[in-house]
Amino acid sequence: MISTIESINSAVNGFVWGLPMLILLVGTGILMTTLTKVFQITHFRHWVKNTIGGIFRDEHVTAHTDKDDMQISQFQSLCTALAATIGTGNIAGVAAAIVSGGPGAIFWMWIVAFFGMMTNFSENVLGIYYRRRNERNEWCGGAMYYLRDGLGAKKGCKQIGAILATLFSIFCVIASFGIGNMSQINSIALNMNSAFGIPVIATGVILMVLAGLVIVGGLKRIASVTERLVPFMAIIYLIGAVIVFIMHFDRAGEVFVSIFKGAFGMKAVGGGIVGSGVAMAVQWGMKRGVFSNEAGLGSSVMVHSSSNVREPVVQGMWGIFEVFADTIIVCTLTAFAVLSSGLINLETGEVMTDQVSTALVADAFSTVFGGAGAGFIAIAILFFAFSTVLGWSQYGSKGFEYLFGTKAIKIYQVLFVIFILVGATMDLSLAWDLSDTFNGMMAIPNLIGVISLSGVVVKITKNYVDRKIGGRDIKPMLSALDDIQELHEKEIS
């Protein structure tokens, strides 16, 4: 039975993550980068000032909402989104990309991240613009809403918009059990067993209880936990990775050369032929880049849409920072730690150890920290992956809510918590393959929505830039509800 599932999943995964899918993903990022006039570069200072800079100078960025207010702060929305994206993909995923695609895979991971910044920006802009309140007065936003109410509002597209919204929600719910649950928990359980000898079943039970206590509290409790957990775990891990790289800094030049040469086939990957090496570098770099930062999946927009911000572009800028922090910073430091450790032949890309995935990163850290390296990575995986589980539980609940209504969320939460125990004892390769498959299946309807509504993103962005940067006195574009109401009033008059 398992072998049959693996065979079917392998075929579907190959189709989903083939060349057309990668072209769609990167092409959407290129399109939105072009239409917004390379916003991530031309307005670099502005988005940095209003995201990470705002944490230190603007109390509204971090201020908590009232107990009865179901919104969360901008910083909480970022931390919850980062909780879901900074996971095993930043450690095991980067190592897998290097092992399978060579050092050149890191270059293509950067490319995906650069253009993915504007894909994520666009998703968040559309998420805030088309979001709605549910019966509990919570904000509900995401691809399902801009597909139904945005694409669906176009002439002749009502039915296709509704169908794509439903498909996205189905894929999201299923993906939440893969990328957001079982693959993460599996990594934790195996690493805790390897580093400390803790039985996987014990890890599964403990994590199931801890996650249950947080998840049943809903978004407000999840956000409260992640805003404390994410900064702590990210800073500790980054310090460790920086120390490893500094201790091997004499290899920095070789690392950069190997990344750029490997990306363009100037040398073989793992002793293989050059053409095959380039293809593998591109494929694995892009796949792991998307798995890491999730730009194009339409996932993080579901929590960004719950922010107390009114300006769609402001939350869009948090989306840019999310991708930047996840891939350009965290993944890059992981890659540099591995490549500079001496465990990878920088000339051929050949792995000089029998370790792969997380164990490869642990070995890299062990070259500096000794036996404590494996324990350090095991603890990092624990924090990273557990926070991912919390973040993705919110994504899946929003997809489930769209399909079955607000009252059905508790059913989803119970199932999600139970599957944590399943993930602890599941085969790791199957969990990762399932994650890749449903990642891609989520991305397809979402990217259709982003492309079809690219004009809306451009108008909202231009309106914001003209007002906030250009100083023009014009009416802001804040919500589709406002615009629809205004149009309705004009028709009546």
pLDDT of residue 440: 75
Please report the pLDDT score of residue 29 as a whole number.
Answer: 92
pLDDT of residue 41: 94
Phi-psi region for residue 71, left (φ > 0), alpha (ψ -120 to 50) or beta?
beta
Q: What is the pLDDT of residue 270?
A: 45
Tell me what pLDDT residue 162 has: 94
Low pLDDT (below 50) residues in the chain: 1-2, 4-5, 8-9, 11-12, 15, 63, 69, 268-276, 485-493
Q: Answer yes or no: are the C-beta atoms of 393 and 175 closer than 8 Å.
A: no
Domain segments of the chain: what residues? 10-469
CA-nearest of 258, 257, 251 to 101 is: 258
Q: DSSP assignment of 103-158, as one string?
A: THHHHHHHHHHHHHHHHHHHHHHHHHHH-EE-TTS-EE-SHHHHHHHTGGGSTT-H
Residue 338: partners with Cβ closer than 8 Å, 6 or more residues away: 94, 95, 98, 344, 360, 361, 364
Q: What is the pLDDT of residue 36?
A: 94
Give the pLDDT score at 80. Answer: 64
| pTM of the predicted structure, to 2 decimals | 0.83
Q: Are 235 and 213 in contact (CB under 8 A)?
A: no
Question: Which residues in 264-277 are b (16+ Cβ under 10 Å) and which e?
Answer: ebebbbbeeeeeeb
Give the pLDDT of residue 126: 95
Query: Which pLDDT belongs to residue 272?
Result: 42
Question: 442-474 burial, b for 16+ CB within 10 Å, e for fewer?
Answer: bbbbbbbbbbbbbebbbebbbbbbebbeeeeee
Give the residue from 111, 112, 144 showing the smallest Cα distance to 127: 144
At the second CATH level, the architecture of 10-469 is Up-down Bundle (1.20)
| pLDDT tens digits for range 385-429 | 888 888 888 888 899 999 998 888 889 989 998 888 888 877 656
